[in-house]
Structure 1
């Protein structure tokens, strides 16, 4: 799993110990739908995974595992963010923030601090 996917989640480790047969079955499904080369390339599949996990408000760690794989595949942080932003119209700001938070922790982009100009009296567009 680690070799093919590029990551292993904590529940995979527990399932390997407690119910390996079911883990194998679910891994076979993931392999067929996600890992094997079919019509969509791996980069596209990673973006779809990131968006679907964002919309479902998956755990930060789960979203981050796919962000790391996407980066390893050569996707840029901006491309990944653009994919996450697709969640806004359909799933809303709260779902978007789930994906954005996971993304920001990985890419470590610093935000801009708001400034107030003395000349605009605090009501300008800065």
Structure 2
């Protein structure tokens, strides 16, 4: 099997195992396959392989840590989708994201919240009184 076929098989296996493949995985598979394999080995040991924490718990931890780090919205959303596929409810995911509020603050929470809202299709309640658009209002 050629290096390209090995890399393709590896990316396909990542998709099956993780339930997602990030853009950098795809590019690294083609551009520097050995480093992708090394990085993925670390992810496997810490995240994918069954140890004491189950996969649902690990996904919630990942979602919160990515939220606090202000990771790309798509990265957070990929873990939200995996969590949903594993049977985690949208409300459980929101509760996990809310854990970021006391330590990291409202702005960080809003980053994860927006990712969650888009994936689960959550909507809100509109005020029935006249209000400004909120652009200049204090965040809270």
Q: Mark yes or no: TM-score above 0.5.
A: yes
Among 36, 42, 60, the alignment partner of 1:23 is 36
CA displacement at 1:90 relative to structure 2: 0.5
Alignment match, 2:125: 112
RMSD: 0.6
Q: Which residue of 2 aligns with 1:36?
A: 49
The answer to whether residue 15 in structure 2 is matched with residue 2 in structure 1 is yes
**Cα separation, 1, equivalents of 2:55 and 2:122:** 25
Look up the match of 1:74.
87
1:97 corresponds in structure 2 to: 110
Q: CA deviation at 1:115?
A: 2.1
Alignment: residue pair count: 116
Q: Which stretches in structure 2 are left out of the alignment for 5+ residues?
A: 1-13, 130-140
SS in 1 for 2:60: helix
TM-score, normalised relative to structure 1: 0.91
What are the equivalent positions in structure 2 for 1:28-67 lying under 5 Å apart? 28-67=41-80
Aligned residue for 2:27? 14
TM-score scaled by length of structure 2: 0.82
Deviation at 1:110, TM superposition (A): 1.2
